[in-house]
Amino acid sequence: MIQSFIFDMDGTLFQTDSILELALDDTFEHLRSIDKWNSATPIEMYREIMGVPLPIVWETLMPNHSMEERELADAYFLERLLEKIRNGNGALYPDVTEVFTYLTENSCSIYIASNGLIDYLEAIVNYYRLDRWVTEIFSIEHVESLNKSDLVRSIVQKYGITNGAVVGDRLSDINAAKDNGLLSIGCNFDFAREDELAQADVVIDDLIELKKIIHSES
């Protein structure tokens, strides 16, 4: 039986698309208003790289801008995201609370490992009261390498996890599981890619499927 579950946040627990495009558009509208951007919001480009750490996001979306300008965009974007989360504009994926309750009732520990920033993750956890089930939140800010495998390794080492699974929608989550000897569970949700999911040990279309997977061997 799997004893520990490490969840990604964006595109796995939290329906990021419910606030992402709004916050991104707000950010680039702000950049246009201060003459730091003169074209459309690169939403499609962001979708292509969804899930990577934010420093890489801004390097990709704003390759010809200075570090200072990228940091300006990053700070503004984060504020808009936090505002929308606290206003209740976001949403969890279906069955998150039911699954979390089931896992904890079956003596499983739950962790979150995300490429999101600490303030962002805490805003989601606090608004939806996920701390009722989650042992600890781990942000990519906690590892110097900005590598998801290293982040998951820090959880494994801290809590002595030997029989666990990583649940996420992107290749970085799948690789993080494999690199740490854990079961990789790919989520076929909004931002998932078929070629990446093909590398997962198990693929689910709904989190409720974890209620059966919990009793499998990792």
Tokens describing residue 116? 């999101």
Residue that terminates a domain, selected from 86, 117, 133: 86
Instruction: Check residue 214 and give left, alpha or beta (phi > 0: left; psi -120 to 50: alpha).
Output: alpha
Examine residue 9 and state whether it is found in any structural domain, yes or no.
yes
Tokens describing residue 126? 């606090």
- Residue type for 57, please? V
36 and 116 housed in the same domain: no
pLDDT digits (tens, 9 = 90+) for 79-127: 999 999 999 999 999 999 999 999 999 999 999 999 988 999 999 999 9
For position 218, what pLDDT does the model report? 43
For position 17, what pLDDT does the model report? 83
Residue that terminates a domain, selected from 66, 86, 106: 86
Inter-CA distances, 30 with 15, 77, 119, 138, Å? 24, 10, 21, 30
Residue that terminates a domain, selected from 71, 86, 101: 86
For position 217, what pLDDT does the model report? 54
53 and 22 housed in the same domain: yes
Per-residue exposure over 32-66, b if at least 16 CB sit within 10 Å of its own CB, e if not:
eeeeebeeebeeeebeeebbbbbeebbeebbeebe
Examine residue 81 and state whether it is found in any structural domain, yes or no.
yes
- Residue 120 sits in a domain whose CATH number is 3.40.50.1000
Bridge partners, 114 (sequence order): 139
Domains held by the chain: number: 2
Average pLDDT per run of 10 along the chain, which is 218 residues long?
A: 94 90 94 94 86 86 94 94 94 96 96 93 97 97 92 97 95 97 95 93 96 74
Structural domain span for residue 28: 17-86
In angstroms, the CA 49 to CA 56 distance is 9
Decide: helix, strand or coil at residue 87.
coil
Q: Cα-flanking dihedrals φ and ψ of residue 67, to 5°?
A: -60, -40
29 and 95 housed in the same domain: no
Examine residue 218 and state whether it is found in any structural domain, yes or no.
no
